[in-house]
């Protein structure tokens, strides 16, 4: 029996995770066990779920995250492949709840799949979002090829240089990713330092953060929208790289054209 049985709203959210996991694999953004997805499912927790016993011992998060007290999450499992998660999300991920000390969690369902090694980064961001009063409940980390390629040039790691170029490639990029792409210099994957740096960049008014030579971390209200932001940004990078491979530097939209777009659509930047 699954925790999803007779819980259609919760199942619908997990089905979205499976759908996105399939997209990541199809796009080549999730080699082997690469990438992670974490969603806050607290709003779907009912009394029966609250009474469920844990199926694991308490495990440390690595940080004390006070805003996560009583929260529940679905997390991709460590060493699990996105292509397998797409097929069977509850065998390749797990539902966890944060313990009252806000420093540990336990697995509740369906099987004791240990969450991603980057769980501290994900949960630290969720803690920040809740403390801020943000409606964002989903986070995704993936390896979009063209966006990662940009970070191997110092030019694109400068603040908002990549954002302006990506916005200029096609109007939809600015319309659908109006906050642009924040940049985090290379740090050890799964580290607390990387989590803290990511939060600082998100706090600087970004929804999508680039981890240099590693991948993208994005947050949004649900996992589909978080994926869409990364997809749109990477399409712009593909357009740029395609133009360069044809032997020329693309003109891109002018500053005046982009300012007009922001004005007409009421975009934040």
Cβ neighbors of 148 (< 8 A, separation 6 or more) are 213, 214, 215, 216
Closest CA to 210 of 234, 193, 191: 234
Q: What six digits make up the tokens of 226?
A: 């978080």
- Point out the catalytic residue in the list 13, 19, 57, 118: 118
Radius of gyration of the chain measured on its C-alpha atoms = 19
DSSP-based three-state secondary structure for 14: helix
Q: Is 118 a catalytic residue?
A: yes
Bond preceding residue 252 cis, omega within 30 of 0? no
Bond preceding residue 242 cis, omega within 30 of 0? no
6 phi and psi angles, rounded to 5 deg: 60, 20
User: What length does the chain have?
Assistant: 269
Residue whose entry in the numeric block shows the structure tokens 């469920």 = 52
Residue whose entry in the numeric block shows the structure tokens 């929260």 = 71
Share in percent of the chain as helix, strand, coil (round to 5): 45, 15, 40
> Which residues are annotated as catalytic?
118
């Amino acid at each position: 029996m699954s925790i999803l049985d007779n819980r259609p709203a919760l199942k619908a959210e997990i089905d979205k995770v499976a759908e996105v996991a399939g997209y990541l694999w199809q796009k080549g953004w999730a080699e082997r066990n690469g990438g992670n997805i974490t969603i806050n499912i607290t709003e779907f927790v009912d009394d029966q779920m609250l009474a469920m016993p844990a199926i694991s011992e308490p495990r440390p998060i690595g940080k004390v995250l006070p805003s996560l007290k009583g929260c529940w999450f679905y997390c991709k499992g460590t060493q699990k492949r996105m292509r397998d998660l797409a097929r069977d999300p509850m065998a390749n991920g797990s539902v966890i709840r944060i313990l009252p000390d806000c420093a540990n969690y336990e697995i509740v369902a369906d099987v004791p799949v240990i969450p991603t090694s980057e769980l501290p980064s994900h949960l630290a961001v969720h803690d920040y979002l809740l403390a801020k009063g943000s409606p964002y409940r989903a986070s995704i980390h993936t390896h979009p090829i063209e966006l990662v390629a940009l970070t191997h040039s110092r030019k694109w790691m400068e603040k908002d240089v990549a954002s302006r170029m990506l916005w200029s490639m096609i109007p939809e990029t600015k319309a659908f990713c109006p906050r642009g792409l924040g940049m985090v210099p290379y740090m050890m994957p799964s580290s607390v330092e990387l989590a803290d740096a990511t939060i600082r960049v998100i706090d600087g008014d970004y929804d999508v953060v680039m981890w240099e030579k590693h991948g993208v971390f994005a947050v949004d209200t649900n996992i589909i929208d978080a994926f869409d932001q990364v997809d749109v940004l990477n399409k712009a990078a593909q357009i740029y790289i395609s133009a360069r491979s044809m032997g020329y530097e693309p003109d891109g939209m002018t500053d005046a054209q982009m300012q007009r777009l922001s004005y007409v659509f009421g975009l934040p930047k």
